[in-house]
Structure 1
Amino acid sequence: MDRNFARSLALVLKSEGGWSDNPADPGGATMKGVTLANFRRYVKASATKADLRKISDEQVATVYRRFYWDAVAGAELPAGVDYAVFDFAVNSGPGRAAKYLQAIAGVPQDGRIGPATLGAARARPAGVVIDTLCDARLAFLKRLPTWPTFGKGWQSRVVAVRIQAMMMAEPVFVQPAPTSTVSGATPLSVPQAPTPAVAAKERNPFWVALFAILFRRKSP
């Protein structure tokens, strides 16, 4: 959803950091995750590395929106899924992120997110899409020859993306079953049985630990 762009960008920038010009990084020189090639493409055609190092926040947002967010139809994806796909696009390219989402959605993998992909993605629980996408993304990263150099950071990033995307996903509310009342009595609520997917997550130690952490943060 487009309202998630600013929040998603802020999260991405925490992972991207500041200036980097590591010879082992195939992306080359970057500032706040913006490559020199993209800076030249969307901001200043004749830009140098020195120009890139002085990139403004507004210019950063322009590059990320046009090259990544719009490329994966972030404004039209479900909440949480939008951030997970967006971060994947920033880290590994919009085309690859789109194809992985399409594989999960069960549509042709052409690297372009259109109506068919959006419809199929919306038809699936956001949590399932986020989980599956993060698993597939991590498996892809582990196959890269640069994993020994960047693997630790990438793994931490995917873990953080999974958690934040799950928190951003809109919950699905179950309509309570009708209750009968007796005059003067307090209506009784009927608890809803959890779906298999929810029950499985409740039994998963990762989710139990995560919810415990979140609960403690919200407690006084």
Structure 2
Amino acid sequence: MASFDDAFDVLIGNEGGYSNNAADPGGETMWGVTARVARASGYTGAMRELPRDTAKSIAKKLYWDPLRLDELDPRVAFQIFDANYNGGHPVIWMQGAAGAKVDGLIGPATIAAVQATDPLKFMMRWNSLRIRYFTSLKTWLNFGKGWANRIANNLWKGAA
């Protein structure tokens, strides 16, 4: 993966299309975008009809750009992007995986620490934190297998 466009294409492979699972706290989604996020971003149509390009625009604005992912190794950027899109605590995990001060604030020190960490070590630490988070959730029994497979797929792609 070399860019946001590449990362988004892989992300959509993880997310799929329309979903409205009663056990999912995110509720109705299309391309992984929840109805709440779509509405807040100005989309007023039916969720089943959310255009992929609209989802892509939302993903860039809300889940890629705020974490300054263009400044990072593309393999690392994808791992962070996928988790930010899927849910969790990406800034805290970035700091933890990079050995930076964990304060939850994205800034130059966090970016520099991530850039200075070997990408493969970062990805191993990152996904360790992510798995620990997932297993702490009440919804792990419903969605854990899918989340574990998602992380396994991401690690495979990151090692390519």
In the superposition, the TM-score normalised over structure 2's length comes to 0.93
Q: Supply the AA of the counterpart residue of 1:62.
A: S
Unaligned runs of 5+ in 1: 168-220
Tell me, in whole angstroms, the C-alpha distance in 1 between the residues paired with 2:26 and 2:120. 31
Q: 1:64 maps to which residue?
A: 59
Tell me, in whole angstroms, the C-alpha distance in 2 between the residues paired with 1:75 and 1:110. 22
Matched, 1:127 2:126: no
Could you list the per-position Cα deviations for residues 170-204 of structure 1 after superposition, in whole angstroms to 9, with x for gaps in the alignment?
A: xxxxxxxxxxxxxxxxxxxxxxxxxxxxxxxxxxx
Q: 2:24 maps to which residue?
A: 25
Local SS of the residue matching 2:159: helix
Deviation for aligned residue 1:75: 0.9
Matched, 1:87 2:86: no
Q: 2:40 maps to which residue?
A: 41
Unaligned runs of 5+ in 2: none
| Runs of 4+, deviation exceeding 6 Å | none
Are the aligned partners of 1:43 and 1:59 in contact in 2 as well (CA < 8 Å)?
no
Tell me, in whole angstroms, the C-alpha distance in 1 between the residues paired with 2:41 and 2:71. 22
Q: As a proportion of its length, which structure holds more helix?
A: 2
Percent identical across equivalent pairs? 32
Tell me, in whole angstroms, the C-alpha distance in 2 between the residues paired with 1:166 and 1:115. 26
Q: Supply the AA of the counterpart residue of 2:83.
A: F
Deviation for aligned residue 1:30: 0.4
Q: 2:153 maps to which residue?
A: 160
Are the aligned partners of 2:84 and 2:90 in contact in 1 as well (CA < 8 Å)?
yes
Local SS of the residue matching 1:108: coil
For these two proteins, the number of residue pairs brought into alignment is 160
Q: 1:53 maps to which residue?
A: 48
Q: 2:7 maps to which residue?
A: 8
Q: How does 1:128-143 map to 2 (within 5 A)?
A: 128-143=121-136
Deviation for aligned residue 1:164: 0.9
Output the aligned Cα RMSD: 1.5
Are the aligned partners of 1:130 and 1:166 in contact in 2 as well (CA < 8 Å)?
no
Could you list the per-position Cα deviations for residues 98-135 of structure 1 after superposition, in whole angstroms to 9, with x for gaps in the alignment?
A: 11111122223333322101111111111100111012
Q: How does 1:196-215 map to 2 (within 5 A)?
A: none
In the superposition, the TM-score normalised over structure 1's length comes to 0.69
Tell me, in whole angstroms, the C-alpha distance in 2 between the residues paired with 1:133 and 1:59. 28
Deviation for aligned residue 1:71: 2.2
Could you list the per-position Cα deviations for residues 16-58 of structure 1 after superposition, in whole angstroms to 9, with x for gaps in the alignment?
A: 11111111111111001011111112233xx25x2x2111122
The structure number with the bigger radius of gyration is: 1
Local SS of the residue matching 2:78: helix
Are the aligned partners of 2:31 and 2:52 in contact in 1 as well (CA < 8 Å)?
no
Could you list the per-position Cα deviations for residues 58-110 of structure 1 after superposition, in whole angstroms to 9, with x for gaps in the alignment?
A: 211101101101122111112210000111111114xx111111112222333
Tell me, in whole angstroms, the C-alpha distance in 2 between the residues paired with 1:18 and 1:53. 8
Are the aligned partners of 2:100 and 2:113 in contact in 1 as well (CA < 8 Å)?
yes
